[in-house]
Structure formats: structure tokens, C-alpha cells
């Protein structure tokens, strides 16, 4: 059996090293189908979702982490988010064909990856990572190395059915075996994408680290969920301001907002909008969500 939409934590019992493995299938397929892209754009979206799902588990927060790359390249936008309640969502936008093998920064024509951590009501914490390396796993490793966080390594893989990833993290405790981290990360680096995608977690870890004693914890489910709502859309309209909305109403009779993450549509007609701006906390009369 594979690992449907699950996150597994594991520990190396004799070394201060922890790990996580994530396998996304139904959640990934839903997001992949909605994305309308194929090829490299789809692979990058899957890698980023697996990475975000792994990252949020390291944070011990009640909130979310998002990864965002914006640029002017053939793929000009990638946004993924994972929450501490084990939900994921994401989008990617491609404006033209990609030719040949390119580095991440060439694909996006951007030099940075923005990592945003939201923890409850606290101000979001943003980190900017140089978009170096050929893939997202390498870019994230640089982020952990440069931001004086725990050394962390990622392996990510994706096809149209499954997005999967593994993360190893060196804990700050002293180790009786100074070479363990290097040895274990070298072994992890030999993971083939096909193994990440197809092997049950126990079998994968057994194959990679058969000389180590590992404890694998019960899995947590992961699912696709979009947090958009009538209330959030209304807040967004309020933040645009009355003048902006008045201009839109003059041109068209209603404001329609489509959530890019889940394609839900929110419609506000003239009466809804007048009520919204006259009385900020009034519920719009006829917003619909499909
Ligand atoms: Zn949505």
C-alpha cells in the first residue's frame, strides 16, 4: 500500500536527527487538475506543496506557511500554503512555453523565494531566500543554512498522481557519532524520485537507512482545503476602498471575485456593495459560492 495523503514523522533513535515524509495524492490531484498546467510548472507546484507541507510541521505554530515566487519568466507565479491543521492549497501561473532545461531563477526570471509564516494573530514573519540552485529542495536548504536554523535537507518528487517529499533535520543535541548527519544525508541524497513516489514510507526508510534504528510515528492526514470565504472576500473589497469599487460598478453591475486557489466564485451586486460600505459589518445580501 502506498501512503495516501499522509505525513509521517520519524526519528533516528541513536542520533539527534528527525525526519518527515509526506505523500499527497487526492489532495495533489485536485490541485493539479485545477492548475491547468502541465510539465515543469506542474512539477514545481507539486514540489512546492510537498515542501510546504513538510515545513509547516517544523514550526510548532498554530498557523500557516506559504512559499511564493513571482517573476517575469515563462512561469511567473507560484504560491503554495500549508497550515498546521494539515491542509494545503496552491497555484501556479504559466504565460508562455518553456524551452530546454533551465535553473529556477531562469524559469521564473526572479531571484527570490518569499517564505511567509503566519502564527495566530501575530504579525506575519517573512523570510527571503535567494532562488539559487536547480530546484526547490536546494533553494530551501540555502534558506535553512543562511538563516541560522537547524540544518535541514529536502528530497522532493512529483508526477501527475503523487507529490511526495522527505525532510531530515539535525537537532541541536550533542551526538556521540559526529559523522551521523553527513552519513545519513548522503544516503538520503541517493533517493530516487521513483522511490519517493511509489514506496510505502517504512519500505523507503528501511531501504535508505537499513543500518539505523528508526522510529516511525503514526501518520497525520493531509488534505486540500481553501480558506476563502464570503467574509474574507468582503474584507478584501473593503480594503480596496469605496472609490475603487464605485469605478468597478460604473463599468459592470456587479463585482465577481473568483478564488484562484479553489475556483469558488463570490458575486456582490450593487445593493450588496452599497450595504457593505454604508455599514461595514452588514452581510452582503446575495453573495454566492459555487
Ligand atoms: Zn478558495
Beta-sheet strands, E only, within the chain: 6-12, 17-24, 63-70, 75-83, 87-94, 112-119, 125-130, 152-158, 163-170, 214-216, 220-221, 223-224, 254-258, 265-269
Q: Which CATH superfamily, name and number, covers 230-278?
A: HSP33 redox switch-like (3.90.1280.10)
Using the mean position of ligand 1's atoms as its centre, give its distance from the Cα of residue 260 in Å: 6
d(CA 226, CA 259): 9
Contact 244, 237 (CB under 8 A): no
Q: Give the distance (Å) from ligand 1 centre to CA of residue 83.
A: 14
263 CA distance to ligand 1 middle (Å)? 6
Ligand 1 mean position to 289 CA, how many Å?
10
pLDDT (mean) for 84-112: 92
Q: 10 Å Cβ neighbour count for 80?
A: 28
Supply the pLDDT for residue 253.
82
Question: What pLDDT is attached to residue 251?
Answer: 84
Round to the nearest angstrom and report the end-to-end CA distance of the chain.
35
pLDDT in tens, 241-262: 888 888 888 888 888 889 999 9
Q: What is the number of alpha carbons within 13 Å of residue 11 lying toward its C-beta?
A: 8
- pLDDT number for residue 67: 97
Residues 116/66, Cβ–Cβ less than 8 Å: yes
Name the CATH architecture for the domain at 6-224: 3-Layer(bab) Sandwich (3.55)
227: CA distance to ligand 1 center in Å? 6
From the CA of 147, how far away is ligand 1's center (Å)? 32
Model pLDDT, residue 2? 53
Rounded distance, CA 28 to CA 243, Å?
40
Helix (H, G, I), strand (E, B) or coil at 260: coil
Give the model confidence (pLDDT) of 216-246 as tens digits.
Answer: 999 999 999 999 999 999 998 999 888 888 8
Do the Cβ atoms of 47 and 136 come closer than 8 Å? yes
**Please, where in the chain does CATH 3.90.1280.10 lie?**
230-278
Ligand 1: centre distance to CA 288 (Å): 13
- Judge residue 261's burial from the number of C-beta atoms within 10 Å of its C-beta, 0-12 exposed, 13-18 middle, 19 or more buried: buried
- What is the model's pLDDT at position 1? 45
pTM score: 0.89
**pLDDT tens readout for residues 104-131:** 999 999 999 999 999 988 889 998 989 9
Domain with CATH 3.55.30.10 in the chain: 6-224
Amino acid at each position: 500500500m502506498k501512503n495516501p495523503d499522509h505525513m509521517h514523522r520519524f526519528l533516528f533513535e541513536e542520533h539527534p536527527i528527525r525526519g518527515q515524509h509526506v505523500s499527497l495524492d487526492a489532495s495533489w490531484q485536485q490541485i493539479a487538475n485545477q492548475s491547468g498546467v502541465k510539465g515543469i510548472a506542474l512539477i514545481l507546484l507539486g514540489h512546492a506543496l510537498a515542501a510546504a507541507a513538510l515545513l509547516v510541521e517544523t514550526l510548532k505554530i498554530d498557523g500557516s506557511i506559504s512559499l511564493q515566487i513571482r517573476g517575469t519568466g515563462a512561469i511567473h507565479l507560484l504560491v503554495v500554503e500549508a497550515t498546521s491543521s494539515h491542509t494545503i492549497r496552491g497555484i501556479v501561473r504559466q504565460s508562455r512555453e518553456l524551452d530546454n532545461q533551465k535553473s529556477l531563477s531562469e524559469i521564473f526570471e526572479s531571484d527570490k523565494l518569499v517564505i511567509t509564516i503566519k502564527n495566530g494573530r501575530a504579525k506575519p514573519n517573512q523570510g527571503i531566500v535567494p532562488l539559487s540552485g536547480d530546484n526547490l529542495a536546494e533553494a530551501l536548504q540555502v534558506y535553512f543554512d543562511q538563516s541560522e536554523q537547524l540544518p535541514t535537507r529536502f528530497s522532493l518528487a512529483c508526477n501527475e498522481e503523487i507529490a511526495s517529499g522527505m525532510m531530515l533535520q539535525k537537532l541541536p543535541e550533542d551526538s556521540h557519532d559526529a559523522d551521523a548527519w553527513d552519513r545519513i544525508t548522503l544516503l538520503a541524497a541517493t533517493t530516487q524520485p521513483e522511490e519517493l513516489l511509489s514506496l510505502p514510507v517504512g519500505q523507503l526508510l528501511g531501504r535508505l537507512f537499513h543500518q539505523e534504528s528508526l522510529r516511525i510515528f503514526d501518520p497525520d492526514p493531509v488534505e486540500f482545503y481553501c480558506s476563502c470565504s464570503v467574509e474574507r472576500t468582503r474584507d478584501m473589497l473593503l480594503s480596496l476602498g469605496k472609490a475603487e469599487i464605485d469605478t468597478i460598478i460604473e463599468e459592470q453591475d456587479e463585482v465577481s471575485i473568483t478564488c484562484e486557489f479553489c475556483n469558488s466564485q463570490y458575486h456582490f451586486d450593487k445593493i450588496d456593495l452599497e450595504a457593505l460600505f454604508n455599514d461595514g459589518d452588514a452581510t452582503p445580501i446575495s453573495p454566492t459560492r459555487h
